[in-house]
């Protein structure tokens, strides 16, 4: 038990939280943009998965990690295009389209993996690249803080920097303002002359950028392979983080970090001999609990003005 306490307070533990939270933060930022524009993107998980896959494949064939990352982002955006096409052109249900995208991505990546490598589980035979880690001069030499803050993957820094960027984008730029208007009251926005479809398409594409990058982090961050369904529900956890953050970028960051910590804690506790199945379920259980609490709070606030 002493060991555990020590390991929980160690700088490595906090560094692990930042690492594990990275994909959740990235995807949650994308989800936030789509949600505020009125099109909650259930398909984030699928976008992330295709990003993870394309990153590995393209970096393996070109030998360039950068090309891999770009490919991952493009894959996410293609997912965004799909969502917009389904919802705006075919007038399909938003949630069903998202689920369709997730299923298609899950099966499609396995199929493509098999076609390329002859394997169905893991892309071990593809010699793919990893994105670099960054050592921050000065900070890396600090005790404790150096371990926590320096030496992370480049996308970890991108994820944290993207939070204020998304906050400013949503709250301070014309496009962000218009997206919020469209998300809150599409009819009114239309009457003002805004193009609801164009703004929601943009939101889907931006969400794809973030989800694709989040996927790339999984397959090109600390590992250099893709395995089937390697996102393991992180897209949904990001959706939950966005809801818990109540649509604000900083709140979403806090929620992502919370969900990330639970994950890390579960890994730490696994070393203590607790059943690992139970621990693996922890992040999902916490997500459900957090959402339930959030729902209760919402319900309380809503008593005024309701008729039924």
- Which residues are at the interface with another protein (CB under 8 A)? 168, 172-174, 177-178, 180-181, 184-185, 187-194, 303-308
Q: How far is the CB of 217 from another protein (least distance, A)?
A: 27
Side-chain-facing half-sphere of 173: CA atoms under 13 Å? 11
When the beta carbons of 5 and 300 are compared against another protein, the nearer one is 300
Q: What is the C-alpha to C-alpha distance for residues 35 and 179, in angstroms, rounded to an integer?
A: 9
Residue whose CB is less far from another protein, 301 or 306 = 306
Query: Judged by CB, which is closer to another protein: 1, or 299?
Result: 299
Q: Which is nearer to another protein, 143 or 174 (CB)?
A: 174
> Of 19 and 190, which CB lies nearer to another protein in the complex structure?
190
Q: Shortest approach of another protein to residue 297 CB, angstroms?
A: 17
Distance CA(298)–CA(289), nearest Å, equals: 14
Nearer to another protein, 89 or 115 (CB): 89
Q: Is the dihedral of CA 176, 177, 183, 186 positive or negative?
A: negative
Rounded least distance, CB 39 to another protein, Å: 15
Which residue, chain included where needed, has tokens 């030499």? 141
Could you tell me the smallest distance in angstroms from the CB atom of residue 88 to another protein?
A: 16
Taking the CA atoms of 133, 138, 140 and 145 in sequence, report the sign of the dihedral they define: negative
Residues 6+ apart with CB under 8 A from 153: 19, 22, 131, 132, 133, 134, 217, 221, 222
DSSP result, 18-84 = HHHHHHHHHHHHHHHHHHHTT---TTHHHHHHHHHHHHHHHHHHH--HHHHHHHHHHHHHHHHHHHH
Angle of helix 11-36 relative to helix 196-220, nearest 10 degrees, comes to 160
DSSP annotation of 223 reads -
Nearer to another protein, 93 or 276 (CB): 93
Please, which residue, 72 or 189, has the CB nearer to another protein? 189
Task: Report in angstroms how near the CB of residue 180 gets to another protein at its nearest.
Answer: 7
Q: Output the smallest distance, CB 241 to another protein, in A.
A: 21
- Distance between CA atoms of residues 258 and 241, nearest Å: 9
For the bound state, the minimum distance from the C-beta of residue 283 to another protein, rounded and expressed in Å, comes to 31
């Amino acid at each position: 038990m002493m060991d555990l306490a020590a390991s929980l307070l160690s700088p490595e533990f906090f560094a692990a939280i930042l690492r594990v939270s990275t994909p959740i933060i990235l995807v949650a930022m994308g989800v936030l943009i789509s949600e505020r524009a009125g099109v909650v993107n259930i398909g984030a998980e699928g976008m992330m998965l295709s990003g993870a896959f394309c990153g590995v494949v393209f970096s393996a064939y070109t030998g360039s990690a950068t090309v891999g990352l770009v490919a991952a982002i493009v894959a996410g955006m293609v997912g965004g295009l799909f969502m917009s096409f389904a919802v705006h052109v075919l007038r399909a249900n938003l949630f069903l389209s998202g689920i369709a995208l997730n299923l298609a991505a899950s099966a499609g990546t396995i199929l493509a993996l098999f076609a390329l490598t002859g394997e169905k589980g893991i892309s071990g035979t593809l010699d793919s690249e990893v994105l670099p880690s960054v050592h921050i001069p000065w900070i890396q030499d600090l005790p404790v803080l150096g371990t926590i803050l320096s030496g992370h993957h480049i996308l970890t820094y991108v994820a944290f920097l993207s939070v204020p960027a998304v906050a400013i984008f949503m709250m301070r730029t014309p496009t962000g303002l218009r997206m919020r208007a469209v998300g809150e009251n599409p009819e009114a926005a239309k009457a003002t002359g805004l193009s609801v479809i164009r703004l929601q398409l943009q939101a889907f594409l931006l969400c794809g950028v973030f989800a694709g990058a989040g996927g790339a982090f999984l397959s090109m961050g600390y590992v250099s392979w893709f395995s089937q369904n390697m996102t393991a529900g992180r897209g949904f956890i990001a959706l939950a983080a966005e809801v818990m953050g109540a649509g604000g970028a900083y709140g979403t960051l806090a929620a992502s970090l919370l969900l990330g910590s639970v994950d890390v804690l579960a890994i730490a506790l696994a070393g203590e001999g607790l059943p690992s199945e139970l621990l693996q379920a922890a992040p999902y259980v916490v997500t459900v609990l957090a959402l339930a609490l959030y729902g209760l709070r919402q319900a309380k606030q809503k008593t005024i003005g309701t008729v039924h």
